[in-house]
Amino acid sequence: MTISWEDFLARVMERGEYRGEAEADHAARVVLALLGEHLVGAERFELADSLPGMYATLLRDAEPAAEPLTAERFVTAVVGWIDGATPATAQWDIGAVFSSVADLVPAELIDRVVEQLPDGYDLLFGHPLPA
* Full residue range of the structural domain in which residue 107 is found: 5-124
Task: Classify residue 37: in a domain, yes or no.
Answer: yes
Task: Classify residue 130: in a domain, yes or no.
Answer: no
| pLDDT confidence tier of residue 2, bands split at 50, 70 and 90 | confident
pLDDT for residue 29: 97
Contact 81, 34 (CB under 8 A): yes
Task: Classify residue 131: in a domain, yes or no.
Answer: no
Beta strands in 13-100 (DSSP E): none
Q: How many domains does the chain contain in total?
A: 1
CA atoms within 13 A on the CB side of 40: 8
Q: What is the CB neighbour count within 10 angstroms for residue 21? A: 13
Residue from 6, 28, 5 nearest 16 by CA: 28
Q: What is the pTM of this model?
A: 0.93
Task: Give dist(CA 72, CA 22) in Å, integer.
Answer: 25
Residue from 19, 22, 21, 39 nearest 98 by CA: 39
Segment 48-97, tens digit of pLDDT: 999 999 999 999 999 989 888 999 999 999 999 999 999 999 999 999 99
Task: Classify residue 129: in a domain, yes or no.
Answer: no
